[in-house]
Amino acid sequence: MKTSLIFGILFLASVALNAQTCPNYYPLQKGNLWELTNYDKKDKVESVNLVTVNSIENNTNGFVSSLTIVTNDAKGKESGTNQLVMKCEAGVFYFDMRNFIPAETMEGFKDMEVSVEANNMQYPTDLIAGATLPDASITMVVKNGGMTLMTIVINITNRKVVGKETITVPAGTFEAWKISYNVDSKTGFAKSQSSVVEYLSMGSGMVKSETYNDKGALMGYQLLTRLVIQ
């Protein structure tokens, strides 16, 4: 009886320790939701993503959280839904690379065979100005009747922690880490290169993101326009 009690206490202590070491980058509590609005370079709304936390499960190594992203177009009509997973393992936070595949694209492939291989984006327990973060990638192969119709490859490299800034967006004012990286994508034979600057606020997630083309010109940006914490 005493032995079982001791093991139970040790197990709970292990769960608590991992929960403490896992970075709290996003408000991952069941029922929480946030809205990210996408704008073009002329400040015109292109689409709106509503992200809802479905669940979060703690384990001895961290946690796993499932989320749903519903995308609406500029007129408010639903254009796609995507399922994501955010997790922490041994103090490292992993951001699902499927977030880089537009929900509208996934919606178009819903009746086809889709396979995904990803090296998800990693964020350590503590961010430090000047630090370099690991590369990330995703490869999605779309087949129909066993025949490959399309292959999408996205590689994210040169991830740098620039420093901290105070950012004001429609959802409020946040202290955020500024992180930059390069994006190389290939869809079929079409290739593109861009760079991204994102602002990540502890406990609130990404509050702002800017995308530039290979010549450094702004292509569009994303802002946190609503944040609901239960």
| Domain CATH code at residue 123 | 2.40.360.20
- CA–CA separation, 165 vs 9, rounded Å? 41
Q: Which of 159, 155, 208 is nearest to 180 (CA)?
A: 159
The model carries a pTM of 0.85
Q: Is 202 helix (H, G, I), strand (E, B) or coil?
A: coil
- pLDDT (0 to 100) of residue 108: 78
- CA–CA separation, 41 vs 195, rounded Å? 14
Considering its fold, how many domains does the chain have in total?
A: 1
- pLDDT (0 to 100) of residue 17: 41
DSSP string computed for 50-95: EEEEEEEEEETTEEEEEEEEEEEETTS-EEEEEEEEEEEETTEEEE
- pLDDT (0 to 100) of residue 4: 46
- pLDDT (0 to 100) of residue 168: 98
Q: Which of 124, 100, 101 is nearest to 179 (CA)?
A: 124
Q: Which of 161, 201, 165, 164 is nearest to 180 (CA)?
A: 161
Residues of the chain under the 50 pLDDT cut:
1-20
Residue 17: domain span = 2-228
Please check whether residue 34 is in contact with residue 27, taking contact to mean a CB–CB distance below 8 angstroms: yes
- pLDDT (0 to 100) of residue 11: 39
Residue 163 Rama label (left phi>0; alpha psi -120 to 50; beta): left
